[in-house]
Structure 1
Amino acid sequence: MDTLFIVLGIVVALLVLLFIMSYVKVRPDKAVIITGPNGSRIVTGKATIRIPFIQRIDYLPLDLIQVDIRTSSAVPTNEFINIFVDGVANIKIQSDEASIRLAGEIFLTRSLEDVKQIAKEVLEGNMREIIGQMKLRELVQNRDKFAEQVKLSALADMKKMGLDIVNITIQNFADKNGVIDDLGVDNIAQIRKDASIARANSEKEVEIATSKAKELANDARIKAELEIEQQNNSLALRQAELKQKADIAKATADASYEIQYANEAKTINISKQNAEIARREKEIELRSKEVEVEEKTLEARIKKAAEAERYAREQKAEAELFVRTKEAEALLAEQERAARGLKLQAEAEKFAQEQKAIGIQAVGIAEAEAIEKKAEAMKKMESAAVLELVLKSDVLPNIVKAAAEPLTKVDKIVMYGEGNQTKLMGDIVNSSTKVLESVKEATGLDLASLLAGFATGKLTQKDEPKE
């Protein structure tokens, strides 16, 4: 099992190593030529796979290659003036597949310096050819034209090697005889001459121009003054017209302002009047509320005073009723005492009669027995005699009078609610009843029962038929 894992590990490692060796990533500034048994293919700016040990890889640079071009010996111009030229050219291998294959066939086994040297020889040869076709002044004054013609002349030869000329820059022209310097002196003299002529012409033209300018200026001044006068007149007329319109507009605006002001004042006055009316209405309403509150307060005060007065009168009436009740009770007690005195007098008379009867016992047994029977009859009819005595006396009227007398001293009784009259009469009757109960407790005489029995007897006698 361990051997199997080792074998698998070795196989995996070999596969990874094979993949690494097979994987090729090409930069944009490089070209790769992969050559194998079945031919070759070119890859630029992408990744690819190649078969190790079977396919070959070769690299070509696609970036710029700078080449110094200068004539090592003097080259005669069209005017047979020997000059030296110094410049720089930028070249590169073209990016199309055919150019890469062509450059690969030529430069694949060469170094970069070999490529520069081959390109330099081609460019310098074409540059010598173009120098012989042009004049010195033209070369010096139009370097771009010279560089462009060299490029066009050498481009065909460069393409045959898969190369392209990006640009050519001419840096310097020189000669050993000082011809270029003399051209400069001649140019300077000519320039000075041209400058003097130009200056004279300029001064002449300045004078002419000055005179003409003065004439034109005078004409222009006169014309301008006329135009200014016309413009002033037009301005005055326009100003008058504008002033008239402004006055009309101002008058209209003033009138509108007055009207608007009057309308605004009217509106403000109306608003003030409405506000004053509203304020007065609010004051009236507030005053009405205050009067209503005052009326309710006064009514409450009057009602409270009336209730207080009624309560005072009730308290006074109760006090007077209490006094009257006490007086009636005192009178009833006096009458009870008088009744007891009469009873004692009757008993004394009875005792005197009994003593008289005993003293005159000699009168006869019949008379004694009659007297005794009469005494017994009187004793048996004691309640009836007392009731008759009470009825014939003014005891009961005095009791009722004493109970109702406090009411005679009350001027006016104000009753609130229902059933108060019945309650008042009930209080008077209850007072009389309490007096009768007091008599019963003091003397043992139940006047209420006696009166009820008496009334029943009367009614019985009235209802019995007469024989």
Structure 2
Amino acid sequence: MNAIVAIITVIVAIILFTSIAYVKAPPNRAAIITGLLKEPRILRGKAGFKIPFFERVDWLEVGQMDISVETEEFIPTSDFINIQVDAIAQVSIDVENGMDIAMRNFLNKNMDEIKTSIAKTLQGNLREIIGTMELKNICQNKAEFSKQVKENAEEDIANLGISIISFNVQNIKDKENLISDLGIDNREKIRKSASIAKADSLKEVSINQAKADNESNTAEIESQTEIAKRENELAIKRAELKTEEDKAKARADATYDIESQRVRKDLEKATQEAEIAKREKEIELQAKEAEVTEKKLDAEIKKKADADRYAEEMKAEAELFKRKKEAEADLFEKEKEAEAIKKKGEAEADAIRMKGIAEAEAMDKKAEAMKKYGEAAILEMLIGVLPDIAKAVAEPISSISDVKIIGSGSQGVSDISGNVPIVMAQVMETVKEATGVDLQDIIHANTYDAKVNRKVEITGSVPIKEQLVGTADPKENADSK
């Protein structure tokens, strides 16, 4: 682990040292390394190392620089004509011979400061050369003028560590427009020479034109004559050729007709043979098509029959499966229903049996009670039955909605309501005749008159009990049975 940490530390240290100490200089810039040695180390277009904290790097532009040189005021020439000149100079650091001087003069200066210093030196040399030349020579020999300025400035510029690549004068102007006047004489001479040259040229053009026209006419006549001859010869030749052509055409037409007849006959024969062959092919094709159609129909019919049979079989199987499942479901439902009916019947039978037992026990208890209480029980029963009898008798009367009285002897509605006791008495009489039980005697048996004066006594409580039990609630008797 410690070895890995040590290796990583060494790698990081190498990377940091390289990033700080490694110096790369392009061709147009020089890296000046100073510090430990007496002489600086110069890197240009290559790379090197510096020792951190002990050496420093400074940069110097060594590429081409364009310097604009212009006289700030009008300078007199040797013939005392004030002019103003602007030029352009291309310079660079003299890497071979003036690097030390350039480092002392321009190191750590920006490009504008370097260009200003060089421009001032060139302006001084430009003034010196202007003062040694006449205006006419300056204007007519700009190249010579530029050369003299360059040669004159090279020594001064070399003292700065700079070399001049080129120096070119661009514009020259003066205060009095004398440069323009110098060209007047030359312009007039040139114009005069041009006019003369133009006139001579026009004259020569006219002479030459006339000669050319004459020669052209002669040539045209000769040409027309020659053309006529050639056309005559051409016409004769055409006639001869036409005759030969007609003969050849006649022979060709005859040959063509004969050949046409032969070709037509051959064509008709070939057409007939082709038609016969075509019909034979059609008949053969129709036979093949009929055979294919028959086989196709057989295949389709057989395939359809197989498909229908398979579909019917599947349908029959599905119906059979469906009926089987429905029968199983119906049987299951019927079994469930029968079981439910059986359980319901058993439950109803148990209920009826229990109800009969309960009713029998109730009747026994009721008979015992009536036997025990005797006349009081019978009387209580009769009294309980009388309201029901009266209600049954009065129900038909209550349903009467309209009463019409006919006759003067009737009391009206009171006669109808008075029928209720009569009907009840008739009911009691009917009960007596049907059952032998006299309800009136039973009721009167407990009165004072019956007890004291008439001495009525009721016997045979058991038969009365049996009659009452037999007539009071026939439904209960039926259920108990």
Higher RCO, 1 or 2 (CA under 8 Å, sep at least 6)?
1
TM-score (norm 2): 0.45
TM-score (norm 1): 0.47
